[in-house]
A = this chain, B = another copy of it.
Amino acid sequence: MRGAGTRLEEEKALKSTEGPAYEGLSGTLAARGVDVDRVEGRLRSQRLETPSWGYGDTGTRFAVFPQRGVPRDPFEKVADAARVHGLTGVCPTVAVHIPWDRVDDYGELRGHAESLGLRIGAVNPNLFQEPGYRLGSVCHLDPDVRREATDHLLECVRVAGEVGSDVLSLWFADGTNYAGQDSFIERRHRMVDCLGEVYSAMPESMRMLLEYKPYEPAFYHTDLADWGAALTVCQKLGDRAEVLVDLGHHAKEVNIEYVVALLLDEGRLGGFHFNNRKYGDDDLIVGSVNPFELFLIYVELVGAEEHSETRIDYMIDQTHNIEPKMEAMILSVMNLQEAYAKALLVDRRALDEARRAGDVLGAHRTLLDAYATDVRPLCAKVREDLGAAADPIAAFKESGYAEKVAAERGEGAGAGWS
């Protein structure tokens, strides 16, 4: 009988850059006219941000299943994020969430991160947990509640300055549960007023990202329900207000890559929250439900990269309810590396030719050709070149990190979500 160890050996052989897999793939690609060095260069420059809250315990409304070894404080979350970066090579920043990551000395948190080769990325306020926000935060009818909410946003602007971040990433749970409960338009005006104050307080170098979501936790309407709602608010705020696309925040029939393209064309695509879902906002591992969709999104992004200097923040936003959190995060990063790699392999010249010829299936098959390619050896090579792991999950398992933190941290602590 074959043990798990044996299988690990085989996997390593398959993915090793020493073996024939990489040689075969790069040879094949070169024969197809692909500039493999350039593709690898772009893969090495990929940047993904992991979220501090993704390392802690999370769950559904029905249950939170605690896991051993989850971080007990923001410093340990940063440590976990640093480990993911060490294994994958492309995750040099970690998003923080206030108040879950509130510390006495943000300079200390920043220094801790930098000592581990990491920087603090987007600062995410929390305007949905306090009892006062039962009927909304920046959209609440009570000006005192809006004041409190705005003050929290201003606090986050300050925190961003202290941790060295230039991104304020905003998601609002604001909405209503019953028809008639409040005025759509008045709520919108309240939001624009509050955000206008925050926008004015941001230093010139800082950007504000506005995330939209169709429902949950609000079940009748959400104040920023779709990209149009977020975009029109951004238009009122200024150029440094941009839209954030969370892959799980769309009605079931929405073509997300099309939304991405429109936002790129409007110059307002600020960033992503990557995850995946089959039903609602399931927050599963990136690429675990529909990897082809993820590839198609990257096809748009690769095209945009070549035509503009737009900065886009690529962030992961997941909750790992039943699976090991760090392994899940690593898998997401790998899936994003593979999606990007495949998108880079699209034969753009052939695609343009087919489109110009009105060759529907020729154009489609050009994407299929790239998507069908097994890019794992290429991604492994890139990770090795970055000083990370060819097979990050195997390396993580071998490292004993999970066992070590489980012993040190025990049950962890609900520093966050639950």
Contact = CB atoms under 8 A, between A and B. Distances in A.
A179 B131 CA distance: 37
Contacts of A278: 215, 219-220, 253, 255
Given A61-B60, A278-B253, A372-B338, A350 B229 contact: no
B184 A262 contact: yes
A295 to B, nearest CB: 9
Interface residues of A, number: 119
A200 interface: no
Given A4-B353, A279-B219, A181 B374 contact: no
Contacts of A79: none
Contacts of A24: 20-21, 24
A45 interface: no
A240 interface: no
Integer count of this chain's copies in the complex: 4
A178 B358 contact: no
A296 B179 contact: yes
A54 to B, nearest CB: 14
Given A66-B131, A219-B284, A292-B291, A141 B356 contact: yes
Nearest to A228: B228
23 contacts: A10-B32, A20-B24, A20-B28, A58-B61, A60-B217, A62-B217, A134-B322, A142-B358, A177-B282, A177-B321, A178-B285, A179-B292, A181-B363, A183-B303, A184-B265, A185-B262, A215-B278, A217-B321, A226-B226, A226-B254, A228-B262, A253-B279, A291-B292
